Every structure is written in structure tokens, then in C-alpha cells.
């Protein structure tokens, strides 16, 4: 995972003299068709008192040091905007049509023009996260960012090893255990589907590296969509450094695609907030 690109050698210093900015892009445009509700999926409530799932992600980003948070909105976006009204560090980017996670992140590119223009190693870093993952921990994000900056990486992923990886992108490694790619579940070979290390969609990118690479991501031949999961492999192939840390607790990876899954996530979330399980 060593880079041959010298632009990253000076990207993030460990001497304490300068801490580049950290922002977040949270994907919040999904419809959540299997939720049996017209409510945007990220607005389904968790906790007591109940609050939208996306608010838990926003709070984790703040606790990890984000000063700027961009929500990518689409389906019934007026409800998402209203749910976070008055939060001055939250901005919005619109995804009018859904063409995949890569397309969703590109919809926020115009908000990062200045950082992109500063180039790699100067424009700061950005988390890219899913808005329907309320079990996310600020501690995990801080670990992700520290590794990213300490290694001067173009991209850093936090992964998890889970018992049932069905539906998740797999983390593919070479014979030496080095990361090579993320492969979406539907694109996996039978051998790849047996991999239990998965991608829970916790990313940290150099801002310029992210958006310049997203511009070249091809359409997936099966779905016709653009995937953010292609970016780390593309960066690695071009000589940039990509780091992978297996630091996401398995319970935090629980998906929320159905009312039953929401109930289970809500149970864990409430127990954690009550101090019954690790926070």
C-alpha cells in the first residue's frame, strides 16, 4: 500500500503545527423502499427520545472534529432539510436522480471547489458516510482520521469482519494481505462472497484526490450506476496510498433496510445511550 505519488509525502503533518480541515459528506438521498414508508430512510427515528437516524451520524461527525457537514439529499428532501433546520454547520447538495453512491458524492463537488483548487495535501480531508447508520461511533471516525493523516494517505477505509456478509461489498486483499479493491456483493465471484471482511461505508479521503478520481469512475456494467467503492482501488492502481483499518465493531455494521432491522438497530442504540453497552 505504499505510494509512489510524492504529492502525499507532505499532506498531513505529525508535528502539531497545522491541522488541515476535516469535513463530512453524508449520503441522505435514499428512498428506503423496503421500509414500507414514504419517509426518507434517514429520517426514521431511533432512540428515546426518538430522533432521525441521520442526526446520530451528524453528531458523530461533529464529535470527530468536523466543522462542515454536507448532506446529499434527494427523495422528499424538504423533510430532511426541516429535520436539521438551525444546524449552522450543515449544508446541502441535491441529487435529483439516484445514479449510485459515486454520483451522490459528485453532487457535492461544487461545495468543495476551493479545496480542490488548493490541490492534494492542502485542501483538507473529508469523511464520506451513509446517513442510515446511526450506530456509527465518533471514536471510530477519529481512529480513521488519525490513520489517514499519519500515513499521508489519499484514502483510508475502516472495515469490519462480520458473520453474515451477504449484501455488503467485500474487501479483497492480495496474497500478502494488502488491500486491492472493494467488490460489490452482486459483482463478487463465489470465492469473494466467502470473504467476511466487509465495507461498512466509512471512508476518509483527501478532498482533491476524491473528486478528481470520481470524475473518472466508470458506470457499473450491471447496474449502470457510479460507485464510490471504485475510488480506493483506482487510487491504489495509480500509485497513491490507500490504508485499511479493521476497526468497525460488527454490531455497528447492521443495515437498516426493513422495519425489522430498524427495530434491532433502535434496540442497540437505546441500550448504548443508556450505558448498557460500549459507546
| pLDDT tens per residue across span 155-205 | 999 999 999 999 999 999 999 999 999 999 999 999 999 999 999 999 999
DSSP assignment of 133-157, as one string? -TT--HHHHHHHHHHHHHTT-SEEE
Rounded Cα distance, 14 and 18, in Å: 9
pLDDT at 21: 79
Mean pLDDT of the 33-54 span: 92
Query: How many C-alpha atoms does 46 have within 13 Å on its Cβ side?
Result: 29
Cβ neighbors of 86 (< 8 A, separation 6 or more) are none
pLDDT, tens digit, 9 for 90 and up, residues 254-270: 878 899 999 999 999 99
Whole-prediction pTM: 0.90
34 catalytic? Reply is yes
Query: Cα 21 from chain centroid?
Result: 17
DSSP assignment of 2-66, as one string? ----GGGTTSS-SSSS----EEEEEEE----GGGSSSS-GGGSEETTTTEEHHHHHHHHHHHTT-
pLDDT at 73: 97
Mean pLDDT of the 27-48 span: 90
**Contact in structure between 55 and 84 (CB atoms under 8 Å):** yes
State the residue for C-alpha cell 451477504.
Answer: 166
Mean pLDDT of the 11-21 span: 52
Angle, vertex CA 276, rays to CA 273 and CA 279, nearest 5: 55
Q: Where exactly are the structural domains of the chain?
A: 20-267
Annotated catalytic residue, options 34, 150, 193, 267: 34
pLDDT at 7: 39
Query: Cα 223 from chain centroid?
Result: 20
pLDDT at 276: 59
**pLDDT reading at 11 higher than 70:** no
- Three-state DSSP class for 206? strand
Termini Cα distance of the chain:
31
High-pLDDT (> 90) share of the chain, %? 80
pLDDT at 19: 63
pLDDT at 2: 38
Rounded Cα distance, 55 and 43, in Å: 8
pLDDT at 31: 82
pLDDT, tens digit, 9 for 90 and up, residues 73-126: 998 999 999 999 999 999 999 999 999 999 999 999 999 998 898 888 788 999
Rounded Cα distance, 203 and 165, in Å: 19
pLDDT, tens digit, 9 for 90 and up, residues 214-255: 999 999 998 999 999 999 999 999 999 999 999 999 999 987
Distances (CA, A) of 174 to 177, 179, 192: 5, 7, 12
Maximum C-alpha span of the chain: 51
Q: Which three cell numbers stand for residue 135?
A: 450506530
Phi, psi of 141 (to 5 degrees): -65, -40
pLDDT at 20: 72
Confidence of residue 134 (pLDDT cuts 50, 70, 90): very high
What totals of helices (H) and strands (E) does the chain contain, helices first?
A: 9, 11
CATH architecture of 20-267: Alpha-Beta Complex (3.90)
Amino acid at each position: 500500500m505504499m505510494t509512489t505519488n510524492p504529492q502525499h509525502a507532505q499532506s498531513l503533518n505529525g508535528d502539531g503545527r497545522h491541522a488541515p480541515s476535516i469535513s463530512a459528506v453524508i449520503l441522505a438521498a435514499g428512498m428506503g423502499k423496503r421500509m414500507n414508508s414514504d419517509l426518507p430512510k434517514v429520517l426514521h427515528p431511533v432512540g428515546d427520545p426518538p430522533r432521525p437516524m441521520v442526526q446520530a451520524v451528524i453528531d458523530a461527525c461533529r464529535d470527530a472534529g468536523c466543522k462542515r457537514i454536507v448532506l446529499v439529499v434527494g427523495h422528499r428532501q424538504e423533510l430532511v432539510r426541516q429535520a436539521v433546520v438551525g444546524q449552522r454547520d450543515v449544508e446541502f447538495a441535491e441529487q435529483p436522480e439516484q445514479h449510485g453512491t459515486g454520483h451522490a458524492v459528485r453532487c457535492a463537488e461544487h461545495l468543495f471547489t476551493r479545496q480542490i483548487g488548493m490541490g492534494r495535501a492542502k485542501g483538507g480531508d473529508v469523511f464520506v458516510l451513509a446517513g442510515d447508520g446511526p450506530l456509527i461511533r465518533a471514536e471510530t471516525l477519529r481512529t480513521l482520521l488519525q490513520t489517514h493523516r499519519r500515513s499521508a494517505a489519499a484514502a483510508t477505509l475502516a472495515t469490519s469482519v462480520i458473520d453474515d456478509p451477504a449484501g455488503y461489498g467485500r474487501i479483497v486483499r492480495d496474497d500478502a494481505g494488502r488491500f486491492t479493491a472493494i467488490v460489490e456483493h452482486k459483482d463478487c465471484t463465489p470465492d469473494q462472497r466467502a470473504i467476511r471482511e466487509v465495507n461498512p461505508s466509512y471512508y476518509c479521503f483527501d478532498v482533491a484526490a476524491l473528486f478528481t478520481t470520481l470524475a473518472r469512475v466508470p458506470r457499473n456494467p450491471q447496474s449502470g450506476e457510479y460507485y464510490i467503492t471504485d475510488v480506493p482501488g483506482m487510487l491504489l492502481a495509480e500509485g497513491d496510498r490507500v490504508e485499511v483499518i479493521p476497526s468497525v465493531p460488527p454490531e455497528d455494521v447492521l443495515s437498516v433496510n426493513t422495519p425489522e432491522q430498524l427495530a434491532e438497530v433502535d434496540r442497540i442504540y437505546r441500550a448504548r445511550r443508556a450505558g448498557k453497552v460500549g459507546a
